[in-house]
Chains A and B, each alone.
Chain A
Amino acid sequence: MSRIRDPIDSIIAGLGKKPDASEQAANRAVIELKKAWVAERMAPTVLPYAGDTLETVMSQIRGLIEFVEEKSLLLHEGDITSSGQDGENIKLQLLVVETELERAKFVARGYLRARLAKIDQSAIYWSTQTPLDTPLSPKEQEYLQRRLIIKEKLYDSSFLLSLHSDLQNLNDTDGAVSMVDEPDLDKPVAIKVTKPGLDPVVCGNDTVLLEHGGLYMLRYSAIAGLPVDIV
């Protein structure tokens, strides 16, 4: 009986324990990143890069990977038989930690991929932003530059070079249709207001009062830059 109870007791004991400051910061970071990921998925434009949060999550991920490796090594070395109580204990810990690890990895991956998808979508537009205005991280800018070069090369060698030199541009904005695809800032987004006392925003012909904690569906252009969560 005690063999079965012990691991459960230790988990229950662990529940009551207050996580220390660094653990709290790490937990917050994953939640923050998850928020940033959701916002990134919903917003029509690329949002400012959450570099610090991502870095915290990354160091947490590295910590978890280390933990998993250490514990698995213990199991493999055979000091602890995997069927014994310690072995069961470690296996349970591993299961919990690995689940957490996969989740953190998924959020980080989703965040980075969501940004890349939007960068690819309007590549020429993002490349025209000045370094001060761009929300892209240095790594993303490097990716964008290289991507534009290889794509231009594809168009050039496929047919553009056979056309008259006046027709070889990829960034014509005159004429009926602009060739530079810009993010549609008028896309509607669902938002939650996170600060009290905001000025009313103008959306189309209407003025909307933003109440603290309220949920609204507005055009992105009306609320860009306000302290809101995009949900």
Chain B
Amino acid sequence: MYGVLADKLVQDARRTANLETLPLYPTDLVRAVVRETQDQYQRALAYHDSTDGLSSQDRVAMCALFVAQLCVRRNKRCLLAHENLRASRLDQAVWAEQELSAETMSNLSAPEQVYLREYTELVSDYKGEWTEVDLTGSLDPPKEIYVEVRVLQDAGEVQTEYGVFNLTKDSQFFVRQADVQRLIQQGFVQLI
């Protein structure tokens, strides 16, 4: 039945929206939807030719043409919506400056990997115009300058404005929040 494949794609998008990380790109499904869309479009063209535009009284052919057109439009919309959701997840990761794990990276399609790289570049260029305010910083209002943090994983030495401190697991520090913001986002330390 027409439209079932695209529906699967929408289901996949819905599942993606609830997942922590991006699932595997459904290459075969996307390809199948594209193929169906192409078939339908050819059919629509054929009907269009045989009914000589819209002047025909042949209501059966008109109806078939209409359904084929709707199917094509819907498929395209589903394809775009699915890709848009995945792209917006990548955008979020770029703005939060999260490194995607190797596993998530392998779940991306090749065009998505290109997109991720180019968007990261674009954001860092735009950010470069506003170095003072650190555009990718936290969007929560600042409460304290100094915070107590606990180290979650070993990460060696970290250089800050006020000297070096050594990140060993389970140690605690009293530091400037601005200095460790990056480490919090990357999951190396947590606020206490």
Contacts and interface: CB of A to CB of B under 8 A. Distances in A.
B122 A147 contact: yes
Nearest to B30: A159
Interface of B: 30, 33-34, 37-38, 41-42, 72-73, 76-77, 79-80, 83, 87, 91, 109-112, 114-115, 118-119, 122, 126, 129-130, 132-135, 137, 139, 141-142, 145, 161-162, 176-178
A13 interface: no
A120 B76 CA distance: 21
A153 interface: yes
A167 B77 CA distance: 11
A61 to B, nearest CB: 5
Given A106-B141, A120-B91, A147-B122, A167 B132 contact: no
Nearest to B130: A112
Given A154-B87, A154-B115, A105 B137 contact: yes
Contact of B115 (A65, A103, A151, A167): A151
B112 A163 contact: no
Interface residues of A, number: 41
B134 A105 contact: yes
A166 B83 CA distance: 20
Contacts of A151: 87, 115
Top-8 shortest CB links A-B: A157-B111, A102-B142, A154-B115, A150-B118, A108-B133, A109-B133, A105-B133, A162-B34
Nearest to A97: B145
Given A98-B145, A102-B178, A150-B122, A109 B38 contact: no
Contacts of B72: 167
| Main DSSP-derived SS at the B contact region | helix
A109 B111 CA distance: 30
Interface in A168-215: 170, 175-177, 179
| Interface residue SS majority, chain A | helix
B132 A105 contact: yes
A81 interface: no
A158 B109 contact: yes
A122 interface: no
Interface in A127-160: 139, 143, 146-147, 150-151, 153-155, 157-159
Contacts of B161: 72
Nearest to A140: B126
Interface of A: 58, 61-62, 65, 72, 95, 98-99, 102-103, 105-106, 108-110, 112-113, 116, 120, 139, 143, 146-147, 150-151, 153-155, 157-159, 162-164, 166-167, 170, 175-177, 179
Contacts of B135: 109, 112-113
B41 A164 contact: yes
Contact of B145 (A65, A102, A143): A102
B115 A153 contact: yes
B37 A146 contact: no
A155 B37 CA distance: 15
B132 A146 contact: no
A225 to B, nearest CB: 28
Contacts of B145: 95, 98-99, 102
5 contacts: A61-B132, A108-B133, A143-B122, A163-B34, A177-B77
Given A106-B141, A147-B122, A62 B132 contact: yes
Contacts of A106: 137, 141-142
Nearest to A177: B77
Nearest to A109: B133
Contact of A155 (B34, B77, B80, B122): B80
